[in-house]
């Protein structure tokens, strides 16, 4: 089966209802016969598009993670105590020696 827009000289993998059922079973997806029949041309169209993309010459092109050059703007990683220990501990039900105090769990 030839995809629309694909050259006649190159054949690509095509999907039939048997293949769709097999993939659905592997993915544990229940599909009715009508869904299988509807999915066959969609998958063949996707495979045709992928085949069409494989014809693009990418020699000398480095892989990209984005189409524009992005730089992350990071702040300096500076460790501070925040200088708010007393304010934080003011919210604690029980604070001792500058720490949260919790009831003893293990005896």
Quick: pLDDT tens for 30-65: 999 999 999 999 999 999 998 988 888 989 888 888
Element of type H or E holding 86: helix 85-89
3 vs 73, which has greater pLDDT?
Answer: 73
Quick: pLDDT tens for 60-88: 888 888 888 778 888 888 887 678 888 88
Q: Look-up: residue for tokens 């050059």? A: 69
What is the pTM (predicted TM-score) of this model? Answer: 0.47
Q: Give CA torsion, residues 50, 51, 55, 60, to 10 deg.
A: 40
Distance CA 5, CA 42 (A): 15
Tokens of 103: 């009831």
User: According to the model, what pLDDT value does residue 3 have?
Assistant: 42
Distance CA 41, CA 1 (A): 11
């Amino acid at each position: 089966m030839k995809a629309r827009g694909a050259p006649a000289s190159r054949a690509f993998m095509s999907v039939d209802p048997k293949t769709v059922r097999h993939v659905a079973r592997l993915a544990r997806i229940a599909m009715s016969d009508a869904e299988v029949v509807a999915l066959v041309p969609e998958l063949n169209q996707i495979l045709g598009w992928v085949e069409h993309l494989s014809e693009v010459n990418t020699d000398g092109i480095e892989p990209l993670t984005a189409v524009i050059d992005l730089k992350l703007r990071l702040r300096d990683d500076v460790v501070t105590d925040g200088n708010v220990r007393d304010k934080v501990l003011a919210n604690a039900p029980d604070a001792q020696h500058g720490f949260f105090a919790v009831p003893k769990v293990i005896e």
